[in-house]
Structure 1
Amino acid sequence: MCCPSATLTVWTSAWLAGSAASDDVLDALLAWGEAHEVVAADAESAVGLDLPLAGDFPASPVRLLAALRAKDAGGARLVLPVPGDVRGLGGGGQFAEAALKAGEAMLLPALGFGLVPDPIAEGLVRWSVYKVDVAAAQEHVGIADAEHGLTDAIRDSAGALQALDVAKDRPGVRAELSAWLRARPNLQWPSGTPGRSLRVLQRAEEIGAILALAHSDEPGGALSSSAAVLRADALRPLGNAVRIARYAAVNEAVRLLTEQADRPQ
């Protein structure tokens, strides 16, 4: 899982579907911070989910989960917006602004609320809850399309970098990639998570590591600032493909976990 919102989206959906315990959700969040708190960003969210407003003493994730259970929240959805691609945000407003700033959020379509994380201190993540225009937020990307798009972007980016002569190997790159991946949070998945989602996310994680190194302080073969700009332009479609693959894989996992719960036993 690529970010706190992905963790909360998958584990909350698994818990609501009956395939995980509430403690599993709380334990999964520890990968992103030792403590998490929840506040409502607006009065409608405060009343709808019985949460304190921002500025008051915050609630715990346990209180949020209890509210979601009481409201029959159904499955959650992940959004990973960037400028120029705000699919899933449901138009403008406070939620869209906060999610775009964070680059991530969890959406609760059945209830019309969205949650945005903010690491406000070392080891402390605050989740702000916003009212969302759900009717405008229903946008879907199929995992097959996202996977194919990732493959195409890898091919196209490799060709572009070769043409720019900025894709030269640098010493120790494999060790750097391994170190970057090891430094990522050690995340677990709920039982029953579909294998295809896991494979796509693993591939996206590995390519994300390559992109992180390509954008690091070392030039990576770029001999001038102009070459660095060209390299960034060549890699941008690949970065978008990685983001969309994560978006599609997480939401496909949630869909299948929720469907499993709905099947008669």
Structure 2
Amino acid sequence: MTSPSATLTAWAGAWLHGLSAPDDVVDAMQEWAPMHLVCAENAVTAGRTGLPWPDPQDSGAATLLGTLRREATVESELRLVLPEPGDVRGLPADTAFAKGAISSGQGVLIGRPGHAGTGLVPTVEGPDVLRWTAYTIDETPIDADQIPLGEAEYLMREATREAASAISGLHTVGADTATHPREVIAEALAHTGRHRYPDSTPARVLRVLDSADRVDAILSAAVRLSPADPLTAASGTLAELLRPLGRSVRLARAAAINSTTRAARTS
């Protein structure tokens, strides 16, 4: 697991449909930070959700579960979004939630498509503190940009080849050869490996997520080991190559996590 929003979506999705216990969700969230501050984005959201505003409270990850439980209905969707500047798919346009999710690079949507819902965005407040801000979504968007799991698998197969090719060429463009790429990749994978998935996660989903983690680790190694001068032609070529690969990783991760929550909802 590579983000608090992914952890919350996967584990809360399992919990909401009876596939995990609330303590399991809290334990998974504690891996990201021992302290979780939760607050509403404004007074309207505070009145609707019962969350504190304007100052957050150290109410813990359990408060997130209460918020999700209040919002959850039979027709509600729990959805991970992983946007970046220039790629805002899945976000409700021109909203405070969209702005916060883009800034954070992640977020969680819950609601019935076409109806009001809630968005949650985490931000790092300190080395051991995550702050979650809840936003009111006037109209939960239909997830028209979600790719099928099969397409996510294909994306990761292609991305694995391209990422491996990119990092294998670093030594030919003056990269730092003191550190071997395998060491950097192993370090990144060890970090993501700390965050486990619910037992109910389908094997196919786990394969996609494992591939995404591996590609992301290769990309991180490529950035870390690339030549120091960002103006070199080689560095420019590397940056152009890595950008779409990073986007493929985000698409695959969101597709995999969201397919799991959909499967749990319809089971």
Assess same fold via TM > 0.5: yes
CA distance in 1, matches of 2:62, 2:242: 41
C-alpha deviation, 1:184, in angstroms: 3.4
* Equivalent residue, structure 1, for 2:250: 243
Q: 1:144 to 1:221 in 2, by over 3 A?
A: farther
Number of aligned pairs? Answer: 259
CA distance in 2, matches of 1:159, 1:60: 43
Identity level (%): 37
* Equivalent residue, structure 1, for 2:7: 7
* Equivalent residue, structure 1, for 2:233: 226
Q: 1:32 to 1:256 in 2, by over 3 A?
A: same
Check conservation: 2:119, 2:135, Cα contact below 8 A: yes
C-alpha deviation, 1:64, in angstroms: 3.4
Residue 212, structure 1, aligned to residue 220, structure 2:
yes
Partner SS, residue 55 of structure 2:
coil
Residue 138, structure 1, aligned to residue 143, structure 2:
yes
Alignment of 1:1-150 (within 5 A): 1-55=1-55, 57=57, 59-73=59-73, 74-110=76-112, 112-139=117-144, 140-150=146-156
Residue 11 of structure 2 aligns with an amino acid whose one-letter code is W
C-alpha deviation, 1:63, in angstroms: 3.1
Residue 175 of structure 1 aligns with an amino acid whose one-letter code is E
* Equivalent residue, structure 1, for 2:206: 198
C-alpha deviation, 1:161, in angstroms: 7.7
Residue 149 of structure 1 aligns with an amino acid whose one-letter code is L
C-alpha deviation, 1:68, in angstroms: 3.0
Partner SS, residue 130 of structure 2:
strand
Residue 197 of structure 2 aligns with an amino acid whose one-letter code is W
CA distance in 2, matches of 1:45, 1:151: 42
Check conservation: 1:5, 1:116, Cα contact below 8 A: yes
Check conservation: 2:167, 2:222, Cα contact below 8 A: no
C-alpha deviation, 1:180, in angstroms: 2.4
Check conservation: 1:52, 1:59, Cα contact below 8 A: no
Check conservation: 1:13, 1:75, Cα contact below 8 A: no
For structure 1, the residue ranges without an aligned partner over 5 or more in a row are 261-265
CA distance in 1, matches of 2:99, 2:194: 29
- TM-score normalised over the length of structure 2: 0.86
- TM-score normalised over the length of structure 1: 0.87
